[in-house]
Amino acid sequence: MKKSILFKILIPMIMMIAATTVKAQITTLAGLPGAAAAYCAGEAVKLAAASTGTTFVWKRYPGKDLLGTPVTLTETTANLSDVPTAPGYYTYVSIASNANCTSDVSTPVTIYALPTISAAITGPTTACVSDLASKTLTATASNLETADTEVFGYTYKWFKNGTAITGATGSTYTLSPTTDAAIGSQAFTVQVSYVLTSHGGSNCMQTSSAANVDVQANPTTPVVTIQP
């Protein structure tokens, strides 16, 4: 086979494979290379600078290095508490000074601010008692900030009318003829969390809005009689 023909065959195949490459799910801090810690959205990054200086300048750089344009933070003590406004990598440095002298720039500390989780449920809004086992609710989880392109692993916990459903920890929940047969509206919610634990010890849990399923009784079986 001529090389030109071979290339014509292989190049589209290579492009197709590249286009369908799926990122591995991030479940541990190791999945965020370069980050010393991860923080939930709205969680404060707390850093302490040990120095003989009396006044401190804190700077926050976007990304994993000091190449971007930094934000000079308002904190002037040795203890910083800062809440990043968007998800992604951030790198912090500090400079100490006294009345007459200034220190060198500290060793950079890089963290990762996790995006907010978006949790939702799709599925049926009505179900007959006789076919509950065929009705499935599906939880969808994603990053609320679409600019963040990392792919995270999630855990799920289902609730009915505010009470946890025993054993319901998957991304789907199939209604049970045994426990979900009460006639009337049943409110299902799902708690979605990252598998990755944040520096603060949480998993950045979010609860979905309720998905209401109206469970209806089947009509009684007709009794047919011969009429005069």
pLDDT of residue 7: 46
Q: Supply the pLDDT for residue 100.
A: 93
The answer to whether the pTM exceeds 0.75 is: yes
Cβ atoms of 45 and 83 closer than 8 Å: yes
CA 227 – CA 78 distance, rounded (Å): 94
- What does the pLDDT read at residue 147? 77
pLDDT of residue 113: 97
In the predicted model, residues of the chain with pLDDT beneath 70 are 1-22
Picking from 145, 142, 146, 151, the residue whose alpha carbon sits closest to that of residue 120 is 142
pLDDT at 2: 52
- Which of 27-59 are b and which e, b meaning 16 or more Cβ less than 10 Å from the residue's Cβ? eebebbeebebbbbbebebebebeeebeebbbb
- What pLDDT score was predicted for residue 96? 99
Whose tokens are 């290095």? That residue is 65
What is the model's pLDDT at position 16?
44
Distance of CA 60 to the CA centre of its chain: 24
Q: Which residues pair with 72 in a beta bridge?
A: 59
Q: Which of 85, 144, 150 has its CA nearest to residue 119?
A: 144
**pLDDT at res. 149:** 84
How much is the pLDDT for 5? 53
**List of domains in the chain:** 42-113 (2.60.40), 117-216 (2.60.40.2700)
